[in-house]
């Protein structure tokens, strides 16, 4: 096979920075799923939450204790037809879009793989990964019910790209969510920004946003998944941006001490076990220079928000492939950041579009 | 660079994480939500049918649009078609009506729900 041109690979072009699906029918299918999620799920989110909680309250009154295991909770709330319907619809729509997206891009599996292999050797920017990398079990889970998760499919990151577009119901199109978060990312107090890294960078949306925000800085995107960093690099080349990608577990980074001015983690912590979060905080502190800043955006902490551990959260964890989210919500990440040696500058974790938690490494 | 072999490194990265193998309540298979799993199957089929029917409607709308604006239509033109923002909005509104009509009875008992979007429904941005 000769060199693969993006234009001939993506006959239907891009949607923002995301490759269009390979035919109109697949796109229409996903449009339907995306709209159905908005109407049949998100719009009913509050209603279903209340119905389920009421059912649990009633059981608590009757028996004197409130069930807290996912199985016991499900046994109770699924008796309410609307609740069962909601979760049936949710699971079906979730499984449907992953399947259809993978089928669509899969029509050109070999060509996509070749394009990634060619991009491995191209600039701007670069990518490094270890083809023999062995993943710890926690990194092989089908997060969000995506078959193969972040690490198990060679085109998994491409599928993830279109999948998150659906997940956000259009609200994140053209990387707008990530870029606005990058715009609001806090810088070190002395204003010096020479090296920036996003850990758990997935497909590089945030890393690209950071490169635009700090065009003169060296910007890194690291992730445990080889499929992620390889595709992130390809996607970044399409935007003509110079970002350095590397496969690295965030708890074991191949960087010297005191190396970075900013380290960011967006939506990484709720997807990993708490012991790993602690190791990552220590590692982030190590690679940041004194005065450097760690920026975390993720779910709220239970102590900051009542209902954080309600049954909608538990259902998301158990039936939407977020097994580590309850652990994160309950771990008091603000305290963990302080224990790791960061000085909390601010935290406003309840809102999207703000920076979440910001920790300075003391000078 | 790590001096460990890939296997040794994986072992190190997995230290203290044995519990991951058996996460309580975490649903890996294909769960069902109704006592009678046939209701799950039927709802799945009904959703798939809705999606496949939308594909046909989508194609019909694009076909009519191309015939009106270009005077002819071919499969290649349909595949290459890039809707304008206005056309995209029109499709979206049509899809909303279509989805509501098909599925509104599902939540008859609890009403139409709130604003239909991820951001308003889940994240509640101020
Ligand atoms: C939800 S995604 C993060 C998305 C991205 N930061 C963003 O804002 O779009 C989580 C990512 O973290 C990666 N990941 C999981 N465990 C990791 C670890 N220990 N070190 C580095 N990355 C990890 C996954 O491979 C996945 O790409």
Q: Which of residues 89-108 of B touch A (CB under 8 A)?
A: 91-92, 95-96, 99-100, 103, 106-107
Distance A276 CA to ligand 1 centre (A): 12
Q: Which pLDDT does position A352 carry in this prediction?
A: 47
* pLDDT single digits (tens) A149-205: 999 999 999 999 999 988 877 777 789 889 988 998 999 999 999 999 999 999 999
**Tokens 């939308």, residue located:** B54
A93/B47 touch (CB, cutoff 8 Å), yes or no: yes
Return the percentage of chain A with pLDDT > 90, whole number: 74
User: Is residue A363 predicted with pLDDT exceeding 60?
Assistant: yes
Q: Which of residues 239-278 of A touch B (CB under 8 A)?
A: 249, 251-252, 254, 273, 275-276
pLDDT digits (tens, 9 = 90+) for A115-129: 999 999 999 999 999
User: Rounded CA gap, A211 and A208, in Å?
Assistant: 5
Mean pLDDT of successive 10-residue segments in chain B (126 residues)?
Answer: 87 92 80 94 97 98 97 97 94 93 86 62 42
With contacts defined as CB-CB under 8 Å, which chain B residues touch A168? 118-119
- DSSP 8-state assignment for residue A265: E
Looking at residue A312, its pLDDT comes to 84
Helical segments of chain A, H only: 6-9, 24-36, 45-63, 70-77, 81-106, 109-120, 156-167, 176-184, 205-213, 226-238, 274-287, 311-319, 325-330, 333-339
Q: What is the pLDDT of residues A255-313, one digit of tens each?
A: 999 999 999 999 999 999 999 999 999 999 999 999 999 999 988 887 766 665 578 88
Sequence-distant (6+) residues with CB within 8 A of B75 are none
- Alpha carbons B121 and A44: distance in angstroms, whole number: 8
Chain B, 9-48: which have a CB under 8 Å from a chain A CB?
9-10, 12-17, 19-21, 23-28, 30-35, 39-40, 43-44, 47-48
Q: Is A297 in the pocket of ligand 1 (CB under 6 A)?
A: no
pTM of the model: 0.94
Calpha distance B83→B67 (Å, rounded): 14
- Is A16's pLDDT higher than 60? yes
């Amino acid at each position: 096979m000769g060199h693969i041109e993006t234009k001939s690979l993506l006959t239907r072009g891009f949607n923002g920075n995301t490759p269009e699906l390979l035919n109109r029918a697949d796109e229409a299918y996903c449009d339907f799923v995306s709209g159905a999620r908005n109407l049949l799920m998100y719009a009913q989110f509050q209603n279903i939450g209340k119905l389920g909680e009421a059912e649990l309250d009633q059981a608590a009154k009757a028996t004197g204790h409130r069930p807290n295991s996912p199985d016991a909770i499900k046994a109770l709330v699924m008796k309410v037809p609307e609740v069962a319907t909601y979760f049936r619809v949710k699971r079906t729509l979730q499984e449907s879009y992953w399947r259809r997206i993978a089928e669509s891009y899969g029509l050109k599996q070999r060509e996509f793989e070749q394009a990634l292999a060619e991009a491995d050797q191209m600039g701007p920017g670069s990518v490094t990964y270890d083809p023999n990398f062995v993943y710890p079990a926690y990194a092989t889970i089908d997060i969000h019910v995506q078959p193969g998760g972040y690490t198990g499919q060679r085109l998994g990151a491409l599928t993830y790209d279109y999948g998150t577009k659906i997940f956000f119901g259009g609200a994140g199109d053209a990387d707008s969510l990530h870029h606005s978060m990058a715009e609001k990312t806090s810088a070190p107090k002395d204003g010096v920004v020479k090296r920036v890294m996003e850990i758990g960078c997935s497909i590089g949306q945030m890393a690209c946003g950071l490169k635009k925000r700090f065009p003169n800085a060296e910007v890194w995107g690291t992730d445990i998944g080889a499929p992620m960093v390889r595709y992130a690099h390809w996607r970044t080349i399409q935007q003509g941006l110079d970002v350095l990608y590397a496969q690295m577990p965030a708890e074991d980074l191949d960087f010297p001490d005191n190396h970075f001015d900013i380290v960011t983690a967006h939506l990484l912590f709720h997807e990993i076990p708490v012991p790993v979060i602690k190791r990552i905080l220590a590692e982030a502190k190590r690679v940041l220079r004194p005065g450097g800043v760690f920026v975390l955006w993720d779910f709220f902490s239970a102590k900051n928000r009542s209902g954080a551990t309600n049954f909608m959260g538990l259902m998301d964890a158990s039936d939407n492939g977020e097994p580590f989210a309850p652990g994160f919500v309950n771990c008091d990440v603000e305290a963990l950041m302080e224990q790791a040696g960061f000085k909390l500058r601010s935290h406003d974790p309840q809102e999207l579009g703000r920076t979440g938690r910001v920790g300075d490494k003391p000078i | 660079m790590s001096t460990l072999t890939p296997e040794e490194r994986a072992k190190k990265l997995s230290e203290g994480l044995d519990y991951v193998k058996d996460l309580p309540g975490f649903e890996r298979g294909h769960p069902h939500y109704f006592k009678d799993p046939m209701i799950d199957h039927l709802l799945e089929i009904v959703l798939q049918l809705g999606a496949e029917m939308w594909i046909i409607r989508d194609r019909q709308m694009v076909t009519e649009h191309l015939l009106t604006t270009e005077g002819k239509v071919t499969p290649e033109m349909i595949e290459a078609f890039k809707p304008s923002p206005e056309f995209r909005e029109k499709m979206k509104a049509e899809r909303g009506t279509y989805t509501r009509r098909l599925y509104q009875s599902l939540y008859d008992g609890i009403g139409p729900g709130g604003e239909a979007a991820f951001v308003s429904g889940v994240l509640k941005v101020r």
